[in-house]
Amino acid sequence: MPTDDFHTHSHYSDGSLSPTALCELAARNGVTRLALTDHDSVEGLAEAGVAATAAGIALIPGVEISAMWEKTLLHVVGLNIDPTNPVLREGLRVQAGARGQRARDMAERLSALGLGDTWDNVLARADGDANRIGRTHFAQALLANGKVRNLQQAFDRYLGTGKPAAMPISWVDLPTAIRWIEGAGGVSVLAHPARYAMSATRLRGLLGVFRECGGRAMEVATANERPNVVAQLAQLAQRNGLLASQGSDYHGAHMPWIHLGRFPDLPAGCEPVSSAF
Ligand code: AMP
Ligand code: MN
Ligand code: MN
Ligand code: MN
């Protein structure tokens, strides 16, 4: 079982656990190095640092930045960042504000679609902070109100790209996201490359651009990925001179198919991203 989990969420974004509970669960699950990588937020890292020490594990400060490349929404994980870096903080402040505004717009859109009032529900799930609200919170609210049968249906019908309640945000562009991370002393990692619904040709193009922009790693071992896909990602990382990362993308009990610290081993021949820490 892997002992490094470099992709997880807390309730500072769309995870359900506090950073403290996340660190305690990590220790119980045998994770010895944990990266907290909340969406566009470093707010949970201070609490996570204290909790990691108490739980006897190492915390790798991280973030997962929403970024645009040629009209495609990408996620770029930053590992081993300095969360006090002013340029990174200012960038994330702007992203969080845009997230809060989108949440209000989405609640209105859902209501106009006849799906009821979701605002109080999503706000409560985001600990009362509108700037933390993500599409996962809306999916949970729709599920709680009986409007969908499961989270996936909420994305398929209403919240996914191109669906009626998907309100696009002008997220930061890919080169700038990489600059924020690398400028804060971190390693930029292309998150879950197999999940962007791109052709193999376009993905190869993206990996070239990612590297040219200063990106240094990509996720290879991610949860619930088929073994042949993991092998392909390992090959792509090696061909493009990228380090290989690994992580569960744990969110909590509302995504019960993901377990903290559980995902395939990194295939032989990959250079682990931790060599750059
Ligand atoms: P946001 O950053 O608010 O746009 O939300 C993105 C998050 O929504 C992702 O990190 C996932 O947790 C979740 N998500 C996005 N697409 C899907 C999908 N098709 N099915 C389930 N969850 C999804
Ligand atoms: Mn998420
Ligand atoms: Mn992601
Ligand atoms: Mn994630």
Give 46-78 pLDDT, tens digit per residue. 999 999 999 999 999 999 999 999 999 999 999
Q: Which of 219, 210, 220 is nearest to 178 (CA)?
A: 210
Name the closest ligand to CA 66: 1
Neighbours of 146 (CB within 10 A): 8
Instruction: Please answer whether residues 77 and 219 qualify as being in contact, where contact means their C-beta atoms are separated by less than 8 angstroms.
Output: yes
Share of the chain above pLDDT 70, in %: 100
Q: Which of 38, 66, 191 is nearest to 126 (CA)?
A: 38
Mean model confidence pLDDT for the chain: 97
Q: What is the pLDDT of residues 111-162, one digit of tens each?
A: 999 999 999 999 999 999 999 999 999 999 999 999 999 999 999 999 999 9
Residues with CB in 5 Å of ion ligand 2: 14
State mean pLDDT over 173-181: 98
Query: What residues contact residue 141 under an 8 Å CB cut-off, 6+ apart?
Result: 118, 121, 122, 125
Tell whether the model's pLDDT for residue 98 goes beyond 80. Answer: yes
- Ligand 1: residues with CB < 6 A are 14, 39, 66, 134-136, 151-152, 155, 160, 251
pTM equals 0.97
3-state SS string for 37-89: CCECCCCCHHHHHHHHHHHCCEEEEEEEEEEEECCEEEEEEEECCCCCCHHHH
Ligand 1 atom 21: the closest Cα is on which residue?
A: 152
Q: Please state at what angle helix 86-112 crosses helix 174-183, rounded to 10 degrees.
A: 140
Q: Label residue 2 by pLDDT band (50, 70, 90).
A: confident
Instruction: Please answer whether residues 247 and 35 qualify as being in contact, where contact means their C-beta atoms are separated by less than 8 angstroms.
Output: yes
State mean pLDDT over 88-105: 98
Query: What residues contact residue 261 under an 8 Å CB cut-off, 6+ apart?
Result: 1, 2, 3, 5, 26, 29, 30, 31, 248, 250
Burial class (CB in 10 A: 0-12, 13-18, 19+), 60: buried
Taking the centre of ligand 1 as the mean of its atom positions, its distance from the CA of residue 57, in whole angstroms, is 28
Tell whether the model's pLDDT for residue 96 goes beyond 80. Answer: yes
Q: Label residue 168 by pLDDT band (50, 70, 90).
A: confident
Pocket test for ligand 1, best of 8, 10, 14 (most atoms within 8 A of CB): 14
- Provide the pairing of β-strand 187-190 with 217-222: parallel
Ligand 1 atom 13: the closest Cα is on which residue?
A: 136
Taking the centre of ligand 2 as the mean of its atom positions, its distance from the CA of residue 15, in whole angstroms, is 7
Taking the centre of ligand 1 as the mean of its atom positions, its distance from the CA of residue 268, in whole angstroms, is 30
